[in-house]
Amino acid sequence: MMNGTLKGRSAVVTGSTSGIGLGIARALAAAGANVMLNGLGEAREIETIRAEIEGLHDVKVRYSSADMSQAAQVRDMIGQAEAEFGAVDILVNNAGIQFVSPVESFPEEKWDAILAINLSSNFHSIRAALPGMRRRNWGRIINVASAHGLVASPFKSAYVAAKHGVVGLTKAVALEAAESSVTCNAICPAYVRTPLVEDQIRDQARAHGMSEEDVVREVMLAAQPNKRFVEIDELGELAVFLCSPAASSITGVALPVDGGWTAK
């Protein structure tokens, strides 16, 4: 961990009350950044997380309940962070949902929701945060895409379409902002060991009469050559690196963190 690397910087991390987003928020705070959390959850639990990160790393940590499917709320969240911290130097777009179905029976409302939260929210937050980054001549935008932003799997048409869109948006923003010392990159992880995935393992084991170990190896990690989950801490450390001076010339890149999945 590059402690102090981001001292004086401020970040917004969407979908950060659990899982990948929370791991990235913790890593940014440990590196010295103020952080605006966002996401779903029980108010008392979120306050516990907020206070814990703030106290542990001696940074400001705030929370926004903005609904990522609502453009106005996304804009307001960026404005709230600018008011609380004085700036949004780092924007991590992580919020996302999933639904699995054959395309011909894919519910239209699920398609619309996935595109709104997984793709359009990135556009709205970038649109709101980028002007301030340009004025300060520094910024870091990190979009958490997926290995499914680079390759497809059946029955995930909306998710795959949205994540491919995130990669395209990342490239376009990187080109537009390149002369402003603002970078924009996408992280493309394969399966990450999160509480949500742990629940899926147990559910699939029961449904298929398989051991949890077999579900992991033969179902979830079948396409992943290294046969292990990506760990949340790996993504947090990568996010901190992308915000560091060492990554100043890395922009417009979709970085696979997938154990070799997309190398095939």
Query: Could you tell me the strand order of the sheet in which 61-64 lies?
Result: 61-64, 34-38, 10-13, 90-93, 139-144, 182-189, 254-257
Token couple for 177: 């902002």
Domain locations in the chain?
Answer: 10-189+231-255, 192-229
pLDDT of residue 2: 56
pLDDT of residue 197: 85
Percent of the chain with pLDDT over 90: 88
Instruction: Find residue 11's DSSP bridge partners.
Output: 35, 90
Q: Which fold has domain 10-189+231-255?
A: Rossmann fold (3.40.50)
What residues contact residue 242 under an 8 Å CB cut-off, 6+ apart?
140, 142, 183, 185, 187, 250
Task: Give, for 54, the enclosing helix (H) or strand (E).
Answer: helix 43-57
Q: Of residues 254 and 201, which shows the higher confidence score?
A: 254
Amino acid at 120: S
Active site residue 159: yes
Average of per-residue pLDDT across 206-214? 89
Is the pTM of the predicted complex or chain greater than 0.85?
yes
> 3-state DSSP call for residue 142?
strand
Please check whether residue 49 is in contact with residue 19, taking contact to mean a CB–CB distance below 8 angstroms.
Answer: no
Please check whether residue 75 is in contact with residue 18, taking contact to mean a CB–CB distance below 8 angstroms.
Answer: no
Of 103-117, 130-144, 165-179, 200-214, least confident by mean pLDDT is 200-214
pLDDT of residue 8: 96
The Cα 163–Cα 202 span in angstroms is 26
Average of per-residue pLDDT across 44-56? 98
Average of per-residue pLDDT across 236-260? 98
Q: Does residue 106 register a pLDDT over 70?
A: yes
Please check whether residue 239 is in contact with residue 92, taking contact to mean a CB–CB distance below 8 angstroms.
Answer: yes
Q: What is the pLDDT of residues 137-185, one digit of tens each?
A: 999 999 999 999 999 999 999 999 999 999 999 999 999 999 999 999 9
Which of 63, 85, 111, 159 is catalytic? The answer is 159
pLDDT of residue 194: 87
Please, how many CA atoms are within 13 Å of residue 180, restricted to the half-sphere of its CB? 21
Q: Which DSSP string do the residues of 110-165 spell out, in sequence order?
A: HHHHHHIIIIIHHHHHHHHHHHHHHHHT-EEEEEE--GGGTS--TT-HHHHHHHHH
Average of per-residue pLDDT across 194-206? 85
Of 59-68, 131-140, 200-209, least confident by mean pLDDT is 200-209
200 confidence band (pLDDT: 50, 70, 90):
confident
Of 1-15, 68-82, 112-126, 161-175, least confident by mean pLDDT is 1-15
Average of per-residue pLDDT across 50-65? 98
